[in-house]
Amino acid sequence: MNSRVEHIIREGRFDKERLVELLSCGAEDSKPIFLEAAKVKKKYIGDAVHLRGLIELSNICSKNCLYCGIRRDNKSVKRYSIGINDVEKAIQFAIVNNFGSIVIQSGEITSGLFARQIEQILIKATCMSQGKLGITLSCGEQSKATYERWKIAGAHRYLLRIESSNKKLYYKIHPNNQAHNFENRLQSLTDLQSCGYQTGTGIMIGLPEQSLEDLANDLCFMRELDIDMCGMGPYVEHEQTPLYMLRKHLLPKSERVFLTLKMIALLRIMMKDINIASTTALQAMVDGGREKALRAGANILMPNITPGCFRDDYALYQNKPGTQEEAEDSKINMDALIKRAGCYPAYGEKGNSQHFAQRQILS
């Protein structure tokens, strides 16, 4: 074992330099990091894994992020928006199966029509579950008024990844224009916090030209922003995107997976009681990826409950798992993988962020 790694962990002072040291050590030397993350998770979170049924509402997007398979300029995508009847069926599935929460995710549209569509879904989901269903949104950057409106209609949590907290890198993976403005994304995150959402952010790991310093800064960024939830995963290439050109400069998949797991473990140690999602992108990179994330410190899983006929069209990256599966298959798979990770599925619980609850008590 590496005594320097053990020393840093014992001291518990995670500044940028020390985080870079921890991120740069190999598998054997990283063992104390994973051991500590497991200890922290056991103490602050326990073995419960909370489930969020994921509804990929629409792949229509006004933005052109250079990494994303459903970006506006990818003309080979068959665009869809799920109608209210199918959305209701998916919500019903989550209620019947006692998932406790749903996530509604979509491409970014800022029209009044879209705002109204989401509002109707929120009202419906709240009514159908008599307020018992936790509702997370992940529908991109919106005006503060829209965030407020959706909060009133029943949304509790919002996930908006910063993707990278390094502004220079941000503009290497997004077009440098007003629609993809870095400051606006930051502003959206603070707007969400001031609207009273449990606020989540996250990044992609293994982006072209991303350094360990960038990743260490991302961890510090999340701590400074005092987030309640995090969803981060490896960057996975997609051949119909501009970033695919840089595929030869990427870290091998196994290293991207290892770094992702280490980032999850470090974030768990640094922010002990936040919710951390085990993301689908990990599964696309390696068999058992989500299970490994639960072991590393994650406590949230998002079984895909999007109606089967739409799944193939929400291809953010290659090899996205579950696109052929119906919702029922996903549930069985989730139960098995949670058990393999030594945890249990916390059916029927909303699984709110303890970090958020704690802040409410203190304020």
- Of 275, 266, 343, 282, nearest to 290 by C-alpha is 282
Rounded Cα distance, 207 and 212, in Å: 11
Q: Which does 71 bind (CB under 5 to 8 A by kind): ligand SF4, ligand SAM, none?
A: ligand SF4
Q: Alpha helix locations (H) across the chain?
A: 3-11, 16-24, 31-44, 84-96, 112-128, 144-152, 167-173, 182-194, 212-225, 253-270, 280-285, 289-296, 308-311, 327-340, 354-362
Nearer to ligand SAM by C-beta: 182 or 235?
A: 235
Interacting residues with ligand SAM between 59 and 88 (CB under 6 A) = 67-68
Taking the least distance from each CB to ligand SAM, the nearer of 58 and 97 is: 58
Instruction: List the one residue from 8, 103, 115, 160 that touches ligand SAM (CB under 6 A).
Output: 160
Nearer CB in complex with ligand SAM: 316/341: 316
Window of 16-24, 83-91, 105-113, 328-336 that interacts with ligand SAM by CB under 6 A: 105-113
* Contact present, 59 and 314 (Cβ < 8 Å): yes
Between CA 317 and CA 253 the distance in angstroms is 14
161 binds, among ligand SAM, ligand SF4, none (CB under 5 to 8 A by kind): ligand SAM
333 binds, among ligand SF4, ligand SAM, none (CB under 5 to 8 A by kind): none
Task: Lay out the site mask for ligand SF4 across 251-290 (x = CB under 6 A, - = otherwise).
Answer: ----------------------------------------
Nearer to ligand SF4, 235 or 356 (CB): 235
Cβ atoms of 343 and 301 within 8 Å: the answer is: no
- Of residues 32, 53, 100, 107, which one binds ligand SF4 by CB under 6 A? 107
Q: How far is the CB of 92 from ligand SF4 (least distance, A)?
A: 26
**With respect to ligand SF4, which residue has the nearer C-beta, 52 or 63?**
63
User: Cα–Cα distance between 177 and 37 in angstroms, integer?
Assistant: 39
Q: How far is CA 256 from CA 6, 128, 299, in A?
A: 23, 41, 20
For ligand SF4, the closer of residues 65 and 102 by Cβ is 65
Contact 253, 262 (CB under 8 A): no
Choose the contact partner of 105 out of ligand SF4, ligand SAM, none; CB within 5 to 8 A by kind. ligand SAM
How many residues belong to the chain?
Answer: 363
Q: Which of ligand SAM, ligand SF4, none does residue 338 bind (CB under 5 to 8 Å by kind)?
A: none
Applying CB under 6 A, the span of 158-166, 193-201, 220-228, 337-345 interacting with ligand SAM comes to 158-166
Written as six digits, the tokens of 151 are 């909060």
Q: Which is nearer to ligand SAM, 40 or 65 (CB)?
A: 65
Residue partners of 171: CB distance under 8 A and separation at least 6:
180, 182
* C-alpha distance from residue 259 to each of 167, 273, 328 (Å): 21, 21, 32
Query: Segment 120-149, which members bind ligand SF4 (CB under 6 A)?
Result: 140
Residues 226-245 that bind ligand SAM (CB under 6 A): 233, 235-236, 238
Q: Which of 36, 56, 108, 228 binds ligand SF4 (CB under 6 A)?
A: 108
The three-class DSSP label of residue 54 is: strand
Question: For residue 193, what are the contacts with CB-CB under 8 A and spacing of at least 6?
Answer: 199, 225
With contact defined as beta carbons under 8 Å apart, do 348 and 100 qualify? yes
322 touches ligand SAM (CB under 6 A)? no
Cβ distance to ligand SAM smaller for residue 227 or 281: 281
Structure tokens at 60: 């229509």
SS3 at position 73 = coil
Residues 47-86 that bind ligand SF4 (CB under 6 A): 61, 63, 65, 68, 70-71
Q: DSSP label at 304? A: B
Size of the site for ligand SF4 (CB under 6 A): 9
**Residues in touch with ligand SF4 (CB under 6 A):** 61, 63, 65, 68, 70-71, 107-108, 140
**Residues in touch with ligand SAM (CB under 6 A):** 67-68, 105, 107-108, 138, 140, 160-161, 163, 204, 233, 235-236, 238, 281, 316-317
